Chain A
Amino acid sequence: MEPFYTTDVLVIGGGLAGERAAIEAAASGHKATILSLVPPRRSHSCAAQGGMQASLGNCVKASGDNAHWHFLDTVRGSDWGADQEVARMFAEEARVAVREMAYWGVPWTRATPGKNSYFIKGERVEIDEPEDKAGMIMHRDFGGTAKWRACYASAGTGHSVLYAVDAEVSRLGIEVRDRMEALSLIYDGDRCWGAVARCLRTGELTVFAAKATIIATGGYGRIYGKYTTNATINEGTGAMLALNTGKVPLGNMEAIQFHPTGLWPSGILITEGCRGDGGYLVDKDNHRFVAELEPEKQELASRDVVSRHMMQRIKDGKGADSKFGPHIWLDLRHLGEQHLKTKLREIWEICRDFAGIDPVKEMIPVRPFQHYSMGGVRVNKDGQAYNMRGLFAAGEAACWDMHGFNRLGGNSLAETVVAGRIVGQRVAQFVDGETLDVSTALTDAFKKEQEARIADWMSRKAEGPSVYDIRDAMGEIMIDKVGIFRTASELEEAVAGIKDLLEQVKTAGLHNSKPGVNPELTFALRLEAMLKLALITAKGALERQESRGAHSRVDFPQRDDKNWLKRTLARWPVGASEPELSYEPVGMLDLPPGERGYGHATRIPLEQSIEDYNATVVEAQKAAGKQDTVEPMGSQIQWGAWEQADTKAASS
């Protein structure tokens, strides 16, 4: 392996967002290079199951759907934490993205004209699908949406989209370095010039010098230890790259999504499509409690709301018992064998392989698990990181921020390809005007720093707790004290507990000093930064004295638009022992803060007028480090256009 490599665009992360961005850069004639922890087709994008949201309106229950509706649902779902301009760009572009995926080969399920049988709110319903939509991309219902909008390929949607995008990467001949982990960005003041990466085949270090660098490494769910649906590689490796610069802020790290239906106790995801297709959630008395608590959306309220209802039910002693602890049941039996083995085939397989259950005949034990990181590397609408030229981020790794405090199901898969396309284009434009102006003195310094870190770990023999013990302790703290229901006292305990683990990690050592890739060393190199991400998450949650979306404070149950219509920004200055938190406005408001339509939360209203709030945004965000965008901020908002959607709602 060569020690020094140059490229135009360095993409860190070979999942959907990174690959889609690389394609855009390569298609513009630039050299793009992808670094990936694993072969790209094994990245966590492949585990997305039930669907990708795009408002094509191709079936009766989707009729009249459009980007206005998608925008409305996304902002409401976010509990008004989203950047509404980004949500608007996303809603418009998702329609194009899903069709592009069809063009690249995704075998989307298609609309079949004539009588179709569905389960809707507990009833079997027959609907005549029209002839003129025959063969168009079909939709299924998902949580928190006014229309059926999720486009899908059975319950393997992420797999099919990833394979189509990775095929395009091959077609364009884009170089992928798999089993390659970026350990540090290379930067000169506030200009990023690539990364130092470690080969996970040999353990060797390489400098990847680049005109532009994109972080697209997915989320950091593994700070919750085993209490997550996430793959083993979702350890926040990209967030830590940005954090360790000391300059680039991470946005809203306390905004953690819990998915209602992780298979109990393994945490393997059971798609929302199960409830979208008519599945029930029942307690130990076989009672459909969520349907009762949410008469309007029933099991298809947003994920934060459904997860809270489930955990409350378990707290009330109504969970079903198992030797691993109480859980809720997901009942799909009424959907029938044919449906389960075709439209939900992957779920049927997971139940068979990992729980020994046949969902045709038996109910599935489920419980909420950590699932998604709404927060991440804070970027502007171009994907450009705050405070660092030449550094971009996209997908779950980024806080772009279209999800605010709760992401809607199916919006993440859509975000990966939408953001990948938009950010990839902006990166290509950026690179056009740049020359690679980086000295080997600089790159050597960053490489030496990593060599020293590695040598330090290799010299330390394990005596106290192992790196895995520390990881497990972190996971227990996070699920117990920074989980679905949060209180000041528990969050304070979490902050103290993680600080203690950060001390322990300084003296922790390795049990083996074998040369080569050394899996224990590989994990040890991530551990301190994982603890930092955990601390930022806990601290952000402690400071945020309100309940918004997935952030639910028992001691502050109201959404507080007067004081907290803002985004947390966390930096970790180099050498500091604690993070610094600051805040910025969420972005310009088009849809005024209001009721979500589910969840029954109360709120403290915004006291300013929308105009006064919006007047502060540009300056405040600039002060927080936001880089200029290629077009003025707010220029893509279609002021008031959402009213077209709402008017139709009133009339339909």
Chain B
Amino acid sequence: MAENIKTARILKFDIFRYNPAEPDKPPYMQRFEVEEAPYMSLFLALNQIREEQDSSLQFDFVCRSAVCGSCGMMVNGRPALGCQTLTADLPEVIALHPLPTFALIGDLSVDTGRWFRSMVDRVNGWIERETEFDRASIEAPMDNATADKIYEADRCIECGCCVAGCAVANVRPDFLGATGLNRIARFMMDPRDQRSEQSWFEVVSDSEGVFGCIGMMACDDVCPKDLPLLEVYSYVRRKAVASLFSSGEDHPARREAEKA
């Protein structure tokens, strides 16, 4: 144990600070030093800082097991889940900033909740159907491979890392981002959803949708749940182009596709 103490690193956290309730105080970076412990995650380190050094520090953790999506933050310039990030994988100096593209609540805390609710509302992120649930009937059968495929897309935890890492979303606030396209893909592939190709086209085809993406695919690199966002992107784009051709409508994306 004595050996551990001798070799433990003193981590230097440079943390972005801004409290909107004190508008006269401009944002600044504040340094905190913490002795590294085995299996130390940013969840443990940040709570230690708040409880022992500065109790006003704002950040969000809920499940602390990488399933709730609350703790997205910029870790040395890269979006990541704080709870899933171990200090052992980081250098001694660790810069933490709030995720860009989301409204700042304070320090490392950002308003992902409103952003995602609004995204869901924009894409009608639910099963669209004409009928109502009949409590007397048994479930409609579904091939397990289809269920697996939907589950794979349904795994998104809406942490916002893909949006924060997206070049387009950083300059265009209405861009749906990879998470939005993934949500669309999830319902597109669901046989229970009764939307027509045409109505999907209206959701995805403008520059806030699939054709807004410029293909840098940072989203695919930073997704903490390893969602196959590259595949999602090509799936949605393929579906959008297909519905475009079937509609016969003139659209810049169609001309582009025809040229290609």
Chain A residues within CB distance 8 Å of chain B: 38-39, 41-44, 46-47, 56, 96, 99-100, 102-105, 107-112, 134-138, 153-154, 156, 159-160, 163-164, 166-168, 170-171, 176, 178-179, 201-203, 231-233, 266, 268-269, 323, 342, 346, 349-350, 353-356, 466, 468, 510-512, 514-520
Name the contact of B113 in the complex, choosing from A39, A109, A346, A349 (C-beta under 8 A). A39
Complex CA–CA separation, A518 to B105 (angstroms): 11
B141 at the interface (CB under 8 A from A): yes
Closest to B138 in A: A99
Q: Are A103 and B154 touching (Cβ within 8 A)?
A: no
Q: Are A46 and B150 touching (Cβ within 8 A)?
A: no
Q: Are B55 and A520 touching (Cβ within 8 A)?
A: yes
Q: Are B65 and A108 touching (Cβ within 8 A)?
A: no
B-chain residues with CB within 8 Å of residue A138 when the two chains form the complex: 144
Q: Are A47 and B67 touching (Cβ within 8 A)?
A: yes
Complex CA–CA separation, A511 to B57 (angstroms): 11
B-chain residues with CB within 8 Å of residue A153 when the two chains form the complex: 147, 151, 154
Instruction: Return A433 CB to nearest CB of chain B, in Å.
Output: 25
Write 20 A-B pairs (CB below 8 A) sorted by A numbering.
A44-B63, A46-B67, A47-B63, A56-B139, A100-B133, A109-B148, A110-B142, A135-B144, A159-B154, A164-B127, A166-B120, A167-B120, A167-B127, A202-B20, A231-B63, A231-B64, A268-B64, A349-B66, A514-B21, A515-B19
Interface pairs A-B: 6 shortest CB-CB: A516-B21, A135-B141, A39-B113, A167-B126, A520-B55, A107-B150
B79 at the interface (CB under 8 A from A): no
Q: Are A154 and B126 touching (Cβ within 8 A)?
A: no
Q: Are A105 and B133 touching (Cβ within 8 A)?
A: no
Name the contact of A170 in the complex, choosing from B51, B54, B120, B158 (C-beta under 8 A). B120
B58 at the interface (CB under 8 A from A): yes
If the complex has contacts A42-B113, A47-B68, A111-B144, are A232 and B61 also in contact, measured as CB distance less than 8 A?
yes
Q: Are A107 and B151 touching (Cβ within 8 A)?
A: yes
Q: Are B155 and A41 touching (Cβ within 8 A)?
A: no
If the complex has contacts A107-B154, A167-B127, are A516 and B22 also in contact, measured as CB distance less than 8 A?
yes
Q: Are B127 and A105 touching (Cβ within 8 A)?
A: yes
B135 at the interface (CB under 8 A from A): yes
B-chain residues with CB within 8 Å of residue A232 when the two chains form the complex: 61-64
Binary contact track B119-146/A, C-beta < 8 Å → 1, others 0? 0110011110000010101111111100
Name the contact of A520 in the complex, choosing from B56, B64, B133 (C-beta under 8 A). B56
If the complex has contacts A111-B144, A520-B55, are A38 and B113 also in contact, measured as CB distance less than 8 A?
yes
Name the contact of A112 in the complex, choosing from B63, B120, B144 (C-beta under 8 A). B144
Q: Are B64 and A154 touching (Cβ within 8 A)?
A: no
B-chain residues with CB within 8 Å of residue A109 when the two chains form the complex: 144, 147-148, 151
Complex CA–CA separation, A134 to B144 (angstroms): 9
Chain B residues within CB distance 8 Å of chain A: 19-22, 38-39, 41, 50-51, 54-58, 60-70, 84, 105-106, 111-114, 116-117, 120-121, 124-127, 133, 135, 137-144, 147-148, 150-151, 154-155, 157-158, 187, 190, 192-193, 225
Complex CA–CA separation, A82 to B188 (angstroms): 43
Q: Are A156 and B151 touching (Cβ within 8 A)?
A: yes
Q: Are A136 and B138 touching (Cβ within 8 A)?
A: yes
Extra A-B contacts (7), CB below 8 Å, given A105-B187, A159-B157: A39-B114, A104-B127, A105-B193, A156-B151, A171-B124, A268-B65, A519-B58
Q: Are B126 and A323 touching (Cβ within 8 A)?
A: no
Closest to A523 in B: B55
Closest to B137 in A: A99
Q: Are A176 and B111 touching (Cβ within 8 A)?
A: no
Name the contact of B116 in the complex, choosing from A39, A201, A354, A468 (C-beta under 8 A). A39
Q: Are B151 and A154 touching (Cβ within 8 A)?
A: yes
Q: Are B62 and A44 touching (Cβ within 8 A)?
A: yes
B-chain residues with CB within 8 Å of residue A515 when the two chains form the complex: 19, 21-22
Q: Are B56 and A105 touching (Cβ within 8 A)?
A: no
A-chain residues with CB within 8 Å of residue B51 when the two chains form the complex: 466, 468
Instruction: Return A172 CB to nearest CB of chain B, in Å.
Output: 9
Q: Are A512 and B66 touching (Cβ within 8 A)?
A: no
Q: Are A511 and B113 touching (Cβ within 8 A)?
A: no
Name the contact of A103 in the complex, choosing from B39, B61, B63, B192 (C-beta under 8 A). B192
Complex CA–CA separation, A276 to B116 (angstroms): 35
A-chain residues with CB within 8 Å of residue B63 when the two chains form the complex: 42, 44, 46-47, 231-232
B-chain residues with CB within 8 Å of residue A519 when the two chains form the complex: 50, 55-58
Closest to A14 in B: B113
Complex CA–CA separation, A511 to B55 (angstroms): 6
Closest to B144 in A: A110
Name the contact of B126 in the complex, choosing from A136, A171, A178 (C-beta under 8 A). A171
Name the contact of A516 in the complex, choosing from B19, B113, B140 (C-beta under 8 A). B19
A-chain residues with CB within 8 Å of residue B187 when the two chains form the complex: 105
B-chain residues with CB within 8 Å of residue A111 when the two chains form the complex: 144
Q: Are B55 and A510 touching (Cβ within 8 A)?
A: yes
Name the contact of B62 in the complex, choosing from A38, A168, A203, A520 (C-beta under 8 A). A38
Complex CA–CA separation, A102 to B192 (angstroms): 9
A-chain residues with CB within 8 Å of residue B84 when the two chains form the complex: 353-354
Name the contact of A514 in the complex, choosing from B56, B105, B143 (C-beta under 8 A). B56
Instruction: Return A462 CB to nearest CB of chain B, in Å.
Output: 8
Instruction: Return B259 CB to nearest CB of chain A, in Å.
Output: 38
Q: Are B147 and A110 touching (Cβ within 8 A)?
A: yes
Name the contact of A156 in the complex, choosing from B67, B117, B125 (C-beta under 8 A). B67
A-chain residues with CB within 8 Å of residue B121 when the two chains form the complex: 170
Closest to B141 in A: A135
A-chain residues with CB within 8 Å of residue B133 when the two chains form the complex: 99-100, 103-104
Instruction: Return A418 CB to nearest CB of chain B, in Å.
Output: 12
B-chain residues with CB within 8 Å of residue A166 when the two chains form the complex: 120
A-chain residues with CB within 8 Å of residue B154 when the two chains form the complex: 107, 153, 156, 159-160, 163
Instruction: Return B154 CB to nearest CB of chain A, in Å.
Output: 6
If the complex has contacts A104-B127, A156-B155, A519-B55, are A231 and B68 also in contact, measured as CB distance less than 8 A?
yes
B-chain residues with CB within 8 Å of residue A103 when the two chains form the complex: 127, 133, 139, 192
Q: Are A203 and B21 touching (Cβ within 8 A)?
A: yes
A-chain residues with CB within 8 Å of residue B127 when the two chains form the complex: 103-105, 164, 167
Name the contact of A160 in the complex, choosing from B60, B116, B151 (C-beta under 8 A). B151
Complex CA–CA separation, A231 to B55 (angstroms): 20
Name the contact of B139 in the complex, choosing from A102, A203, A342, A516 (C-beta under 8 A). A102
Complex CA–CA separation, A96 to B134 (angstroms): 9
Complex CA–CA separation, A46 to B157 (angstroms): 9
Instruction: Return B148 CB to nearest CB of chain A, in Å.
Output: 7
Closest to A349 in B: B66
Complex CA–CA separation, A514 to B56 (angstroms): 7
Name the contact of A134 in the complex, choosing from B126, B141, B147 (C-beta under 8 A). B141
Instruction: Return A328 CB to nearest CB of chain B, in Å.
Output: 19
Complex CA–CA separation, A176 to B120 (angstroms): 13
Closest to B115 in A: A39
Complex CA–CA separation, A266 to B41 (angstroms): 11
Instruction: Return B15 CB to nearest CB of chain A, in Å.
Output: 14
